[in-house]
Every structure is written in structure tokens, then in C-alpha cells.
A and B are shown apart, each in its own frame.
Chain A
Amino acid sequence: MLIKACLASIPVYLLSFIKFPKWAIKIINTHMSNYLWNDSVDSHKYHLANWELVSMKKEFGGLGLPNPRDLNICLLASWLRRYQVDKEKLWKELIDFKYDTTNPNIFQTNTIGASSFFKGFMRAAQTAKMGFRWNIGNGKRVRLWEDNWLGSSSLAIQFWPLYRIVNEKKKTVAEVWDGTDLK
């Protein structure tokens, strides 16, 4: 389809850099749906299916047009992929240093005073966080209670009543576990 190939791919480059505001996404959606249903300024046509249905993937029963809001998040979060793959690269060290991402890991980075790109990126990273699990190495990056390293959710969720009364919240695994004792 023409929209998918042409209209929808125009903003993709920008979508991977900038967290689009709601109004921009709304305008993109309006333009795409107006084109789809052959709408124009002087003649209004019926939009036969809502955008929710149209923007579903074809295998889920929609028309497979991209949903810019979701696409935005997905593309922004793909900087995590670069972060994951480029282990010893200079840019990663720069980011780590500038934003103090080792305190204790990238998902907990403070965004106050960060660039607008980094703020957008962090928003996306927060969304993508639920899809990650941790492999514990030296235990300095993983928080025992809050991070997801065992099963499908964090210990805080799995043992909520207990988490409410523990003292050592937001501590990394390395801080509370030395191999023999749990603090």
C-alpha cells in the first residue's frame, strides 16, 4: 500500500531521535487516515474503520499501517540495542560518564538537566524495561528487589508484603549479598 511505503516512512528517521509530542503524532495520524479514506478539505468522507483497527499489524487483523506513537517508542529504545552491542565503545563510556549510568544501571539514570534526546530516550527505555531480564555477573548493576533477574517479574512484585517492610531497598545485589550472607 502506498501509505505504508511512502507517507509513513517520511518521519521514521526523526522518530528514532526525538520523542514526538502528542500533537505531532495526532497530525501524522490525521494525515495518514485522511489519505487512506480519500478525505480532503472540501469533501468529507466516512472513515470506515478507526485508527486503532487500521494500525494493527496484518497478522493481528489490521491493515498494518504503522502506529507512530508506538513506533516512536520502539525506535528510540533501539538506542538500548546499540548500548547493548557496543561494549567498549567510546560513545558508551561518554554516556556512562556524563549521565552516571552506573548508579546502578542505565534504567535508573537521572534525567534532570539531560538533553531532550536523552530524556526521550529514557522515556522509551522505561517502556522497554519490562522486556529485559538481567544476567547477574558481579551484581553491581542489578538491584536485588526492584530489578527483574528471576522469572518474569522483580522480587518486589513477587514478594510485595515482604518488600514493604525491608530496610535495604534499592540496593544492588553486590551490596546486600556477599556470597554467604543476605543483609
Chain B
Amino acid sequence: MYQAWLEIVELVATIQLSDEEDEFIWNFNFSGIYSSQSLYKVTNFRGIKSVHVSAVWNIKVPPRVHFFLWLVINNRALTRDNLAKRRKVEDENCLFCLERETIRHIFFDCVVAKSCWNIVSDVLGFQVGGSMLDIGKFWLSDKRHCVTNMITSAVIWSIWKLRNDLCFQRIGWRSMEMLLFRISGLLQNWMVICPVDKKASLKYFIDKIKLTASRILWLPYVNQPTT
């Protein structure tokens, strides 16, 4: 205890009293003057999230897709397993196959999603779509991967739209080609929001997806999910 007292005496000895008034200084910014913005930022912080969660807003897609992707990464999209938390659901199975429908299943693990990602990987020339993290890592460098991001978002959005059509419009599932044409049509519409210098490369990929889709049409047994 006495040791602590000596320590304090030592600390206090460093004080240089002067004639000026005591001043208080704000710690959370550089100017030392209080700003409500900086305090709000401190109180708003609720723990670390992975970096790509906030990167979703950087990519070039329509706002509703932004919002949907945000729901997907936070596992808040209304798939059947999430719906089951809110009310009774008779059938928790995926629309495409017979496994339980979760976010991870419908977008990545389902046979339809898997073969779709395989085709897209072929088109892009590198592997994409292992998981949300796998897609999200490209959001961080949107300048370089702008087109990739648009395509992967289009895939997720189209899978979701198709799933909803199957669910609510009672459209029957025909083939992979249906999904791929949706993706290319969607990307065609998003052409307007694509930066000018990236338009050519996006066009190239759209054509390539269309080409792959039409090939499936002629060979109906390739890449078709077992139902």
C-alpha cells in the first residue's frame, strides 16, 4: 500500500501547475473538441463483424439486391428454415431437391446451385461460389472485381427469384437453361449501372453465359439435377 502511495506521489510530482484554466479534451477524435459524430460511432460499435459484411454496399447492383445480399449474409433472408422460426411450416424442404432449405443450402449446397456455380466458374475462368465468404471476399476489391461481383450477385438473386416463382407461381422446374437465361437477362438489365470501362467485359460474359445456356438446351441430359 505504501508502495502505491509513493507511486502516486511520483505521478503527482509530474504536474506542472500554471496560471491557465484547466481544460478538458475529447479523446475520440484528433482535434480534441467534442463531436457528436465521434461519440455516436463509439456507442454504436457492437463488436467485430467480418469485413465483407459492410463491403456489400460498394458493389454495383440495384438497391434491392444490395438489401437482399445484406439479409443473406446476416442469415435473415426468409428461407423455409428461417420462416419456421416464425410460424409453423409444413414442408421445410428445398424446392429443387429434398433437403432442408437453409441459406447455405439453397445458394451453395443444393445440386442446382452447385451446377450453376460450376457453369459460372467455367465462364469466368476461376472458381467462385463456395460460400458467402467466398463471394464476399471479392466485394472488398470492387474496383478490380466489379464484373465478377455483378455476376455473382446476379446468380444469387436469380436463384432466389426462381425459387420464389417455383414456390408461389407454381412454375415447374424444367432445366438449368431456365436459370442461366434469367441470369443473363438480369445482367443485361444491369448493364446501365455498370461503369463504362467495364461494359465490354460484362457483355462478353453475358454472351458466354447465353452460349452455355443454349448448349444445355441441345444436350438436355447434361448438368440436369436429379429430381
**What residues of chain A have their CB less than 8 Å away from a CB belonging to chain B?**
1, 46, 48-49, 52-53, 55-61, 63, 67, 70-71, 73-75, 77-78, 80-81, 84-85, 105, 127-128, 131-142, 144, 150, 155, 159, 161-162, 165, 173-174, 177, 179, 182
Contact = CB atoms under 8 A, between A and B. Distances in A.
A134 B21 CA distance: 11
Given A60-B49, A73-B43, A174 B71 contact: no
Interface string B140-158: 0000000000000000000
Contact of B24 (A71, A78, A132): A132
Nearest to A55: B44
B78 interface: yes
Given A132-B25, A134-B23, A141-B21, A155 B15 contact: no
Interface in B1-41: 1, 4-5, 7-9, 11-13, 15-28, 33-41
A132 B50 CA distance: 30
B181 interface: no
A141 B11 CA distance: 18
Contacts of B41: 57
Query: Could you say which interface size class chain B belongs to?
Result: 35 or more
Contacts of B42: 131
Given A75-B36, A161-B4, A162-B5, A133 B49 contact: no
A147 B20 CA distance: 18
Contacts of B22: 105, 134-142
A74 B33 contact: no
Contacts of B50: 61
